[in-house]
Amino acid sequence: MSTETTVQLDRNRIRTLIDREAARLDERTQASADMYKRARQALSGGVASSYQARDPWPIYLTTGEGAVVYDVDGNRMWDFHNGFGSMVQGHANPAIVKAVAERVALGTHFAATTEDGVFVAEELVRRWGLPRWRFLNSGSEATMDAIRIARGLTGRETIVKIFGSYHGHHDAVMVSIGVEYARIGDRENYASLPYGAGIPAAVAELTVPVPFNDAGAMERRIERLEAEDRKPACVIMEAAMMNLGVVLPEDGYLEEVREITKRRGIVLIFDEVKTGLAIAAGGATERFGVKPDMVTLAKTLGGGLPAGAVGGSEEVMSVVEDGSVYQVGTYNGNPLTMAAARASLTQVLTPEAYRHLDALNDRIVAGCEGVIARYGLPGYAIGLGAKGCVTFSPTKIVDYESFKASQDVEVTELAWLFNMNRGIFMTPGREEEWTLSVAHTDEAVDAYVQVFDEMAAELTA
């Protein structure tokens, strides 16, 4: 990781380039503009989810093939967004298309478990080493149920999360995410801040945030909660944060968290909605070698179909099996989703696929690091399996505070516009990272690096 800064970026120049690139993107996306005019008459804000909204209009897509997507204007783009990290298999992967096509003719929904569901659970047991699983339909459902299971098991209500982490859109975790830096409170006692309107204060207060990469701060906060008779049911966290770019755990951090939670009888949940199946066959749990009590999966699990899963130890999942916690849902284990997941796990996300993703990631990270070094940009590239990003910050980001203090919002915005105008479909938002797929090639990642090089040249000209 290189964090050497050699140039001072000219802020006026950045803003001029943003204006130029935004105008260019408007020109190239007139069919999206038209679609937006129509869409917003029926869809709130013209989109199905607020995360798809964008000013002056969203980009509407039509099709995807392997590593490529097309928008309604016919622009062809290498896809580094990949459905917020869901499409590690690539678009219309033949194995998944075949499995879904065969399954759809046999009936799409019964609300009864099919053999594919049993198989997928067996495979997740093998990959994560956690013996019991249940299925759901999204990452939010997975984290919601994991927290409920932890609460049911322990009889406690308070939960601990990492400040700045996103775990989905239900009330318990829509707390202390992307808030203004001035409001976060002091590090030892971060505030429980609802993320957006509609979150009851009473629910938000049950969620206590702590800094990432600081096991001491976590333990001290837990001690104070215990003294207040608010011992937490669980700690829910990503082993590597994936919603502030990519923030890796410092050496020994996860081991310490594991030790603290075990010693204190607190359920440790690794939210692997982004990392699971994307950074290794057995996700962050395999990659970092620390085993939590529970894992949540979604995104890559379904190969593009809505999927989620919760895995846990026998002890933790006993409250599901004895019926004291209701883990339920009409579409859980849906036959189409399970057929897609099975094909993905057996035919697509193979050891060879992870070798390919690691090699591609090494190439893109090395390419981006080369650009950073050549132009003396303040920033660094970081990669892990299918995931990675360039973080525009002169210093290493280790938690939410360092992210807020040094992330360069303008350069990140410029990078997104630059990419979109040059055939790279990238996740919008400065917290986001790229997702590679098994269909990506050297050509695809070299295209990404080439666009980054062009931007760096213009930024520093």
Ligand X SMILES: Cc1ncc(COP(=O)(O)O)c(C=O)c1O
Interaction site with ligand X (CB under 6 A): 84, 138-140, 143, 166-168, 238, 242-243, 271, 273-274, 298
Give me the least distance between CB of 284 and ligand X, in Å please: 10
Cβ 89 to ligand X, closest distance in Å?
16
Distance in Å, CB of 54 to ligand X, minimum: 17
For ligand X, the closer CB: 231 or 274: 274
Shortest spacing between CB 213 and ligand X, in angstroms? 16
The one-letter amino acid code at 72 reads V
Instruction: Kindly tell me which of 48 and 457 has the beta carbon lying closer to ligand X.
Output: 48
Residue closer to ligand X (CB basis): 168 or 312: 168
Q: Kindly tell me the sign of the dihedral angle through the C-alpha atoms of 317, 137, 332, 105.
A: negative
Minimum CB distance to ligand X, residue 21 (Å): 26
At residue 76, φ and ψ (nearest 5 deg) are -100, 130
Instruction: Reduce the secondary structure of 33-90 to three states and give it as a string.
Output: HHHHHHHCCCCHHHCCCHHHCCCCCCCCEEEEEECEEEECCCCEEEECCHHHHCCCCC
Name which of 136 and 371 has its Cβ closer to ligand X: 136
Measured from the CB of residue 27, what is the shortest distance to ligand X in angstroms? 31
> Residue 139 or residue 333: which is nearer to ligand X going by CB?
139
Residue number of the CB closest to ligand X reads: 139
Smallest separation, CB 81 to ligand X (Å): 12
Q: Which is nearer to ligand X, 403 or 452 (CB)?
A: 403
In the numeric block, the tokens 């969203």 are attached to 58
CB 149, CB 312: distance < 8 Å: yes
Nearer to ligand X, 281 or 295 (CB): 295
- CB nearer to ligand X: give 2 or 50: 50
Q: In the complex with ligand X, which residue's Cβ is closer, 237 or 411?
A: 237
Q: 3-state secondary structure string, the chain?
A: CCCCCCCCCCHHHHHHHHHHHHHHHHHHCHHHHHHHHHHCCCCHHHCCCHHHCCCCCCCCEEEEEECEEEECCCCEEEECCHHHHCCCCCECCHHHHHHHHHHHCCCCCCCCCCHHHHHHHHHHHHHHCCCEEEEECCHHHHHHHHHHHHHHHHCCCCEEEECCCCCCCCHHHCECCCCCHHHCCCHHHCCCCECCCCCCHHHHCCEEEECCCCHHHHHHHHHHHHHCCCCCCEEEECCCECCCCCECCCCCHHHHHHHHHHHHCCEEEEECCCCCCCCCCCHHHHHHCCCCCEEEECHHHHCCCCCEEEEECHHHHHHHHCCCCCCCCCCCCCHHHHHHHHHHHHHHCCHHHHHHHHHHHHHHHHHHHHHHHHHCCCCEEEEECCEEEEECCCCCCCCHHHHHHHCCHHHHHHHHHHHHCCCEECCCCCCCCEECCCCCCHHHHHHHHHHHHHHHHHHHC
CA 301 → CA 74, 138, 216, 276, 338, distances in Å? 29, 10, 34, 8, 9
- Give min distance, CB of 137 to ligand X, in A: 8
Residue 435 beta carbon to ligand X: minimum distance, rounded to whole angstroms: 11
Report the nearest approach of ligand X to the CB of residue 272 (Å).
8
The smaller minimum CB distance to ligand X, of residues 165 and 421, is found at 165
Nearer of residues 334 and 421 to ligand X, judged by Cβ: 334
Smallest distance from the beta carbon of 273 to ligand X, in angstroms? 3
